[in-house]
Structure 1
């Protein structure tokens, strides 16, 4: 699974070219749809439509072929389609290609313009709508990205040790076995697999967990989503001591994670996480009208300049809603238009990109739950 960092998001959202092609489609993790190659067939269909649209825009055939080459390689890669999450995002331009497999249920969509369309990626950057799950024992490390409705594994073998012996040395197992034998001979008790009073054992586990924490930092350093740990109870205090990630969730998913598969771990994690998911979003939606008129706005002419200037704390976008128009950054002038054209752009996409770049929160909200329902964008400002 490809994780989208803040830096990569900024690179994509600030890229300009003629043309930039953005494609989003739903994918499946397994089952009949994977066997029937449903997503693979759907991408082929979307790309065929995209080629026709590019031809109608009088894009040279050579450039269309260049844009489509990496897309076609994906279509032809049978192995790629066996390892999907819930959605696939593709960005292709001259000299540029990126793809991301993410736990977001995209609707099939294509967008051709002078910039990439990043708005569907908004849930990836909502810390209270998704979470990370680390399942760890002394013999295994598994890492997942999840939402309320989905979970997908992230490969971390190249970032973290896969078992304790990889970090502290293979003499650990021999020493550990001798310790247990000696304890059984003398009648002394062990607790949950290691002597709670044995500092050496704890220190070695602590070194193991610090190595895991260091590796995960490569993924989590810019993240806001909570990290939930699934491990045996006695290990969690040691992991908390090793942890450097500021959004570590304070409750552990109890039990031995080796006793559950990925879906079982997801269900257990939701048991402790669900009350906290989307908590901040709900609170901000409920309190929108309690702010003074200077602190909020539903006017596109106010919101777009504020997004560029880093003044927006929270942006609500109507899901499936769109606002077309243009923005002149020099004079801060916003022009809206009824229909999409070759000369305008998605202002909701523009606003979402800038707010995320500047550290604000962006949420896709169904029409019925928008604070100001007559507008496609609602914003809470950081300052007036």
Structure 2
């Protein structure tokens, strides 16, 4: 039995879960609570208990014996009583259980609506927002005294280790007298005789030359480190430093706007929020283009709002972009041999979420999946719209 916690939910993990086909796969989603009141009242545990009762009822309907059900669901039940788990919450919790791989859970950085699902596969559509409008970018925190590099996205922000690749202080490049010079410049007092600073002059031009030398080495290291050469690189630095670094930068996508001010006085949460605010529109460009394409082709065979056309196309990898209305679902059965799709009004023991599977097929075969509010959908009052590849 596997029991692991992942703070970052990768595409590889998604693919592993999507590949599982087993009887009575259990998927549970619920919000976690960071506020003291909800934690003290045990609201998260209470929600999980309710979800567990629903899963239990479904397994009874499948004909499972009571003893077998209790044994199968025991790992989830044990989680309810793990106080340390609930005292260290994230925004949302996703739980998966099947007969072969057992029990897994993931704390994730955004809340979920409460959801239970039992079928021969997992319910994964709530996880897809992790992979769209969520592109990778980098933040370089830059000053004379220290350098830090972060890798960010909409939901994640972490510092990268740069010790062996990028000099972290100007003095490491221009010499150890730099600290004395900086102290002199900051206090305005002459603490050391003129000419004692590593053979450098005292003017601004000399200081600028030192910075250029420092930044060149940083730029070389950063360029080598960035795994995505097209990803935006944002600088967090003072207005004075930005144009100097910009001039020697060789990364293909240095962001035109920097986070102004001394980054030393900003926490990582603030840096994440401000930097994502700069690049969010950039990552939503593809969605806007796909919506425009759908509207332009709305009366052609290149688009559809009919599940009977969309679902088979998703299975065959024919969907370029699937637009999904938030908080909606479509249930039914699909006979691939006959190409027959039957729509049901609700989730039943023998049917599946067609929306879930259509989204999974689309995503795994290189298509886009976007979640929209009802008023944003290209064709209103229809849970899924598709733009076809051909």
CA offsets 1:194-244 (integer angstroms, 9 cap, x no match) = 75446763454346535753xxx4xx79xx9x656352264764996468x
Among 310, 335, 344, which residue is 2:317 paired with?
A: 310
Name the residue aligned to 2:188.
none
Runs of 4 or more consecutive aligned structure 1 residues displaced over 6 Å after TM superposition: 169-172
Contact kept, 8 Å, 2:139 with 2:149, in 1: the verdict is yes
Name the residue aligned to 1:136.
141
SS of residue matched to 1:16: coil
Name the residue aligned to 2:177.
178
Q: 1:165 to 1:195 in 2, by over 3 A?
A: farther
Among 333, 347, 369, which residue is 2:376 paired with?
A: 369
Q: CA deviation at 1:165?
A: 6.8
Q: CA deviation at 1:19?
A: 0.7
Q: CA deviation at 1:314?
A: 0.8
Q: CA deviation at 1:365?
A: 2.1
Among 106, 115, 129, which residue is 1:109 paired with?
A: 115
Name the residue aligned to 1:188.
202
Q: 1:250 to 1:14 in 2, by over 3 A?
A: farther
CA offsets 1:117-162 (integer angstroms, 9 cap, x no match) = 11111211212x676564635354555543xxxx5555x6xxx32x
Q: CA deviation at 1:176?
A: 4.5
Q: 1:301 to 1:54 in 2, by over 3 A?
A: same
Q: CA deviation at 1:364?
A: 1.9
What is the rounded CA distance, in whole Å, between the counterparts of 1:71 and 1:248 in structure 2? 46
- In structure 2, runs of 5+ residues without a counterpart are 1-5, 185-193, 196-200
1:65-104 matches, cutoff 5 A: 65=70, 67-96=72-101, 97-104=103-110
Instruction: Compute the RMSD of aligned alpha carbons.
Output: 3.8
Name the residue aligned to 2:218.
205
Greater C-alpha radius of gyration? 2
State the aligned residue count. 361
Name the residue aligned to 1:14.
19
Q: 1:112 to 1:32 in 2, by over 3 A?
A: same
Contact kept, 8 Å, 1:165 with 1:172, in 2: the verdict is no
Q: 1:271 to 1:344 in 2, by over 3 A?
A: closer
> Does residue 1:125 correspond to 2:131, yes or no?
yes
What is the rounded CA distance, in whole Å, between the counterparts of 1:145 and 1:29 in structure 2? 22
What is the rounded CA distance, in whole Å, between the counterparts of 1:346 and 1:190 in structure 2? 66
Q: 1:240 to 1:114 in 2, by over 3 A?
A: farther
> Does residue 1:268 correspond to 2:262, yes or no?
no
Contact kept, 8 Å, 2:323 with 2:370, in 1: the verdict is yes
Q: CA deviation at 1:27?
A: 2.2
What is the rounded CA distance, in whole Å, between the counterparts of 2:59 and 2:281 in structure 1? 46
CA offsets 1:272-331 (integer angstroms, 9 cap, x no match) = 235446443344334423115121111212211211222111101222222211223344
Name the residue aligned to 2:33.
28
Q: 1:144 to 1:174 in 2, by over 3 A?
A: closer
Q: CA deviation at 1:112?
A: 0.8
1:200-279 matches, cutoff 5 A: 201-202=214-215, 204-206=217-219, 208-209=221-222, 213=226, 217=227, 229-232=234-237, 234=241, 237=246, 241=250, 251-269=257-275, 271-276=277-282, 278-279=284-285
Name the residue aligned to 2:351.
344
- In structure 1, runs of 5+ residues without a counterpart are none
